[in-house]
Amino acid sequence: MPVARSVDESFLALPLSALTDAALTRAVDLGCEHADVRVERIRTQVISLRDARPESFTDAEDLGLAVRVVHEGTWGFAAGVVLTAAEAVRLAEEAVTVAKVSAAVNSDRVELAPEPVYRDATYVSEYDVDPFAVPDAEKAALLTDLSEQLLSADGVEHVQATCMLVKEQKYYADTAGTRTRQQRVRIHPEFTALTVDRATGQFESMRTLAPPVGRGWEYLTGTGWDWRGELAEIPELLREKTKAPSVQAGRYDVIIDPSNLFLTIHESIGHATELDRALGYEAAYAGTSFATVDKLGTLKYGSPLMNVTGDRTAVHGLSTIGWDDEGVAGQQWDIVKDGILVGYQVDRNMARLRGMPRSNGCAFADSSRHVPVQRMANVSLQPDPAGPSTEEMIAGVERGIYVVGDKSWSIDMQRYNFQFTGQRFYKVEGGRLAGQLRDVAYQATTTDFWGAMSVVGGPQTYVLGGAFNCGKAQPGQTAPVSHGSPSALFENINILNTVQEAGR
């Protein structure tokens, strides 16, 4: 049966209308072309265990009010924590003062792409069990039980377990008349097993592949992932990894599992197709982009099998919203179509700069204390509707490597030259897995890599991966984002031996 979900009454009971009326009326009186108000309450809980014993438990709540204005073509912003009409008026006045001071250095007049008005709208993300309604002792007990299962296996010396839980509530209102209320829940459990060779002192670790998701506590009790099944497999996989030979560097066909490929999508497509990077407005934090706007419609991003969408509507996506932090409704759109760059991720100001009729809803602030900036949608590689299974893909490879799980990565400031490692690597010989390998990294340029994609897996291989901690902006902000991916085969990819590359 569908679960009835609603925004918590305790949030709706805040003086949202009074704050709106006070701030927006004062902003209009001061001559603002646009003004908006955000009230945000974000509760974050992190439970950490080491060797099935409590290590730390944090429970924090961030509640505040933000006012943003456009005054004579310049942004102004102010934020506070006192939720009174008088404070809302003060913040509106402060935001206008900031805009007046900033006008002297503003080279581009701020104009916002139009958006329909949503006068009384509510969105609640897809989850069954509010994790903050579950007793803390019950949550800790389940994490302890799962940790003990892993720790009891032969060869597992230590187990680290963490679970991060977030409930994000936002109210948005603007001078156009939009009024939205939203509640999103997300969860990120993770278990890492470590083994130690007593003779040499060398150690090896292996982490669960389960991605963070926009679900509730039901995720850890069996909905959406088989935790006990994965934990039961890790000890043997870890033992095999410790005995695996070091890879011989060279060129290989590479089959990449969604548990690894999501991160390559994030770094080489997601960030590269943020329009503010492509235009050079974002540069200091992780650089700009090789995918500049003069290449839109012509850049061969990858093979004709490559179809990538931006999506703010995907079920259980970490970047899924009802409306963004500029009152723009969630949408899905094409970024790469048949291998060609056809779209970007934009907010309302960037959309207007490019002459676009509408934003695709990519404005986000990680708290009321921060101004909304252009942030990543759920950027996903689409499966081939008739594509093969991962096993069928492997069966078609004579000499290759199968990559599972993400680990370390590196990419340049243009989102072009990169290398990625992983949790596990398997040698492929004659269409069969022939044991694990160690010390593997794959290296390429973005267009060469995606151009080498020769097979895309079917819907049965598709997994929505992601991360809680995508960083951007100054002052820095973090945003949760998901990336769906099927398994895929890439031909003749350069494989590095990381130990040799490190000179060891």
Q: Which pLDDT tens digit goes with each residue over 125-148? A: 999 999 999 999 999 999 999 999
Residue 500: pLDDT band with limits 50, 70, 90: very high
Average pLDDT over residues 476-502: 96
| DSSP code for 131 | G
Interatomic CA distance for residues 198 and 330, integer angstroms = 53
* Residue 360 structure tokens: 């695709």
* Count of Cβ atoms closer than 10 Å to residue 27 Cβ: 30
70, 112 in Cβ contact below 8 A? yes
Residues 86 and 107 in one domain: yes
pLDDT digits (tens, 9 = 90+) for 72-116: 999 999 999 999 999 999 999 999 999 999 999 998 899 999 999
pLDDT digits (tens, 9 = 90+) for 314-354: 999 999 999 999 999 999 999 999 999 999 999 999 999 99
Residues 141 and 220 in one domain: yes
**How many angstroms separate the Cα of 415 from the Cα of each of 203, 264, 311, 405, 469?**
32, 10, 21, 21, 18
**How many angstroms separate the Cα of 388 from the Cα of each of 237, 324, 396, 399, 405?**
25, 36, 10, 18, 20
Residues 227 and 269 in one domain: no
146 within domain boundaries: yes
Average pLDDT over residues 10-38: 98
Domain final residue, candidates 195, 217, 243: 243
Residues 188 and 325 in one domain: no
Look at residue 501 and tell me whether its pLDDT is greater than 90: no
135 within domain boundaries: yes
Nearest to 254 by CA among 400, 446, 388, 461: 400
Tell me what pLDDT residue 3 has: 62
Residue 433: pLDDT band with limits 50, 70, 90: very high
Tell me what pLDDT residue 203 has: 87
Tell me what pLDDT residue 2 has: 47
Residues 427 and 496 in one domain: yes
Tell me what pLDDT residue 399 has: 97
pLDDT digits (tens, 9 = 90+) for 371-396: 999 999 999 999 999 999 999 999 99
Residues 211 and 261 in one domain: no
Residues 223 and 204 in one domain: yes
Residue 504: pLDDT band with limits 50, 70, 90: low
Tell me what pLDDT residue 197 has: 79
Look at residue 283 and tell me whether its pLDDT is greater than 90: no
Interatomic CA distance for residues 493 and 400, integer angstroms = 9
High-pLDDT (> 90) share of the chain, %? 94
1 within domain boundaries: no
Domain final residue, candidates 193, 218, 243: 243
Look at residue 4 and tell me whether its pLDDT is greater than 80: no
Residues 36 and 151 in one domain: yes
**What do you get for the CA distance between the two ends of the chain, in Å?**
57
2 within domain boundaries: no
422 within domain boundaries: yes
Residues 43 and 192 in one domain: yes
Q: β-strands 179-196, 121-124: how paired?
A: parallel
* Count of Cβ atoms closer than 10 Å to residue 64 Cβ: 18
Look at residue 201 and tell me whether its pLDDT is greater than 80: no
Interatomic CA distance for residues 74 and 71, integer angstroms = 5
- CATH number of the domain bearing residue 207: 3.30.2290.10
Tell me what pLDDT residue 1 has: 41
Task: Report the DSSP beta bridge partners of residue 50.
Answer: 53, 160
Look at residue 163 and tell me whether its pLDDT is greater than 60: yes
Prediction pTM value:
0.96
Question: Could you give the number of structural domains in the chain?
Answer: 2
* Residue 399 structure tokens: 């000499």
The residue written with tokens 């370390």 in the block is 408
pLDDT digits (tens, 9 = 90+) for 223-254: 999 999 999 999 999 999 999 999 999 999 99
* Residue 318 structure tokens: 């970490």
| DSSP code for 243 | H
Residues 452 and 389 in one domain: yes
Domain final residue, candidates 218, 243, 268: 243
131, 139 in Cβ contact below 8 A? yes
Residues 59 and 104 in one domain: yes
The residue written with tokens 């069990």 in the block is 129
What does the mean pLDDT of the chain come to? 96
306 within domain boundaries: yes
4 within domain boundaries: no
Structural domain boundaries enclosing 311: 250-501
* Residue 379 structure tokens: 């950027």
User: How far does Cα 484 stand from its chain's mean position?
Assistant: 10
High-pLDDT (> 70) share of the chain, %? 99
Interatomic CA distance for residues 68 and 90, integer angstroms = 12
Residues 299 and 377 in one domain: yes
* Residue 32 structure tokens: 């603002």
480, 319 in Cβ contact below 8 A? yes
